[in-house]
Amino acid sequence: MGSSNIKDILTCFSPSLDFFAVTSGDGRIKIWDTLKGQLQTEFSDIVSSEETNLLTKPENRGHLSIDYTCMKWVTFEKKKKRKLDTSFLVLGTGSGDVLALDVSAGQLKWKINDCHPGGVTAIAFASRRSCLYTSGADGMVCELDPTTGNLLRNFKASTKAVSSLSVSPDGKTIVTAASQMKIFGSDHKKIQKFTGHPGAVRCMTLSKDGKYVFSSAVGERYVAVWQVDGSKKQSASCALAMEHPSVYLDCRYDDADGAGFYVLAISEVGVCYFWCGKAIEELRKAKPARISFSVEDTYDKNNKGVSAAIYAANIQSTADPTAISIFLAHGFLIKPSFEKIMVHHGEDLQLNTTRNGLLLPLSQSRKTKKQMDLQTGATTLDRANAEGALLPVPKVLDHYRIKQDQSFKLDNSQAVSTVTKANFDVPGVDATACPMENRLKTLGIISDLDVPTAKSTRASSLLKEIDIGTTVPPKKMRAAILSMQPSDASKILNVFVDMWQSRSCSGKYVLPWIYNTLVHHGHHILSQEPENATIASLYKIAKSKGSATQSLLQLSGRLQLVTAQLNAMLLSATT
């Protein structure tokens, strides 16, 4: 197992386990389809409550400005009959807001601003009562209506910040953790308290019958078990040791058939632990089953930041008293995997993971030495295997002219006519293939620079005193523009736009000239009717180039990676 740390990652399964929500601290919430193993949707730049469409992009904000501190996926029944159950993903933020996302509709259903001054610390849900509970740094516990977000009741649970919260399914037992752990009834009266943990409780869960509480704290390498019986006993009934502090808990207790305790915990480094026992005494002596990854040592050493980990787990039905079925989310955050496994008490289990979706350096290729030998080996052709050696390689014909998207056509009939008359009678080249440059010319994005036109003649006459191919100081550029007559400025603006569109000059040099021309002669240019077409063309070009910037940057990064790998291959081949 590598040294991956998952303590800052928030995860949550939907109640049906069909979806998995995860956020890694960048303000983006990714929803994965656990059945297909694909990304279902991604939420970012969530707008205010007045603008509930998540596709609307807010101004002066970004996903990095949102600090999510906790999340809970809740499902409740509709009040009207014959309605499907409603499912919301409820989140708390460091600024004290509570918001609910309708994942299926892609909308922000409701939002409570400043619900907990200082930040929201935990969210719990009473499934049978369909009631939502939140706790915060202000020491308050709020009871909310999950359908509307309206505040129903609240009470003061502690004079200090409440770090964790858990509620029984019927809502009759509420557990809060601050400096002490306290048990409250549905009437918000304290029933019992425990000594708790020296540090802040990071995760806590309550058994369905409300008889036991399971908790773990920051920096403490154990899971504590507390019995809720109304007595004055304040110490833990059991402590389950781990190698690293826990960040995720899922526990079951059932005394109906003598099944007993099932405790599952995930540590900060993404290792899962499982204990079981019919009674507290047996649970205390139980040896945990450890679930981890068998990843190549070289990969872990060189990529400590992206080591595989287990992010979340859900206990499902038990097959026998010493085994349990667990549903896991594991692998890498860029593309997690979902798997249902059977875990036996006391038996360690190693999982295999895939690196699909990761961009790895060539030195960390997963190919074995045998595969590399097969790749570099040569095959001798004889009568047995040379039958299809001379068959032509199938080509994918270019149907570009037939399926050309009309929305990307530009009004440049001269460039189109020039290209359509071009003759591609080159030996060895398919006549149906069309080079990328010719396609760009067909769209009018670039023009045919090899044919002298009136524009080039006009450009040479107007640019006699302007060195357009170098960086010109702003003062000198401003003086040159101001020395022009307004009519000449209008003409030279057309030349600049043509140069930018045809790529005869780099935008790094020509764009400052366009800017200064518009600043100092803009009024005259806009007053001329023919020049309005130039302004419209300039806007259209700028908009199209701006929309492609992000894709080009991604392509540039991929090309740099491929180039680096090719250089490494050439270097290793020469040495």
448: left (phi over 0), alpha (psi -120 to 50) or beta: beta
- Domain contains 166: yes
Q: How many angstroms separate the CA atoms of 472 and 277, rounded?
A: 79
CATH, residue 19 = 2.130.10.10
Q: Over the stretch 348-369, which tens digit does the pLDDT of each residue have?
A: 888 876 665 555 555 555 554 5
196-202 long-range contacts, CB within 8 A, separation 24+: 197/224, 200/161, 200/163, 200/164, 201/163, 201/164, 201/177, 202/163, 202/164, 202/245, 202/246, 202/247
Domain housing 416 = 397-451
User: In terms of domains, do 487 and 349 share one?
Assistant: no
Work out the burial of residue 423: count CB atoms within 10 Å of its CB; fewer than 13 is exposed, 13-18 middle, 19 or more buried.
exposed
Q: Over the stretch 131-141, which tens digit does the pLDDT of each residue have?
A: 999 999 999 99
User: In terms of domains, do 460 and 441 share one?
Assistant: no
Domain end position, chosen among 355, 377, 410? 355
User: In terms of domains, do 435 and 464 share one?
Assistant: no
Is the distance from CB of 234 to CB of 253 less than 8 angstroms? Answer: no
User: In terms of domains, do 419 and 447 share one?
Assistant: yes
- Domain contains 504: yes
- Residue 419 carries which side chain, given as an amino acid letter? V
Torsional sign, CA 71, 76, 79, 85: positive
Q: What band does 299 get if pLDDT is binned at 50, 70 and 90? A: very low
Q: Is the pLDDT of residue 291 over 60?
A: yes
Name the pairing type of β-strands 86-93 and 98-102. antiparallel
Domain count, the chain: 3
Q: What band does 409 get if pLDDT is binned at 50, 70 and 90? A: very low
- Domain contains 381: no
Tokens 């049906």, residue located: 16
pLDDT at 142: 95
User: In terms of domains, do 463 and 480 share one?
Assistant: yes
- Domain contains 459: yes
- Domain contains 382: no
Question: Global pTM?
Answer: 0.60
pLDDT at 308: 85
Q: How many angstroms separate the CA atoms of 104 and 85, rounded?
A: 12
Domain end position, chosen among 421, 451, 481? 451
- Domain contains 5: no
- Residue 275 carries which side chain, given as an amino acid letter? W
Tell me how far apart the 2 most distant CA atoms of the chain are, in Å: 97
Q: State which H helix or E strand residue 557 sits in.
A: helix 549-574
User: In terms of domains, do 304 and 199 share one?
Assistant: yes
pLDDT at 211: 87
User: In terms of domains, do 260 and 293 share one?
Assistant: yes
Angle at 250 between CA 247 and CA 251, to 5 degrees: 130
Looking at per-residue pLDDT, the higher value among 169 and 552 belongs to 169
User: In terms of domains, do 184 and 100 share one?
Assistant: yes
Angle between helices 529-547 and 486-502 (to 10 degrees): 30
User: In terms of domains, do 429 and 544 share one?
Assistant: no
pLDDT at 470: 77
- Domain contains 3: no
Mean pLDDT of 542-568: 79
pLDDT at 462: 61
Q: Over the stretch 488-544, which tens digit does the pLDDT of each residue have?
A: 887 888 888 888 777 777 777 888 888 888 888 777 777 776 656 777 777 777 777
pLDDT at 124: 94
pLDDT at 416: 40
User: In terms of domains, do 33 and 115 share one?
Assistant: yes
Query: What residues are paired with 267 via a beta bridge?
Result: 246
Query: At 361, is the secondary structure helix, strand, or coil?
Result: coil
Q: Is the pLDDT of residue 122 over 80?
A: yes
User: In terms of domains, do 446 and 458 share one?
Assistant: no
User: In terms of domains, do 470 and 443 share one?
Assistant: no
pLDDT at 141: 94
Mean pLDDT of 384-390: 50
| CA neighbours closer than 13 Å in the CB half-sphere of residue 117 | 1
- Domain contains 37: yes
Looking at per-residue pLDDT, the higher value among 53 and 298 belongs to 53
Looking at per-residue pLDDT, the higher value among 318 and 383 belongs to 318
The end-to-end CA distance of the chain, in Å, is: 34
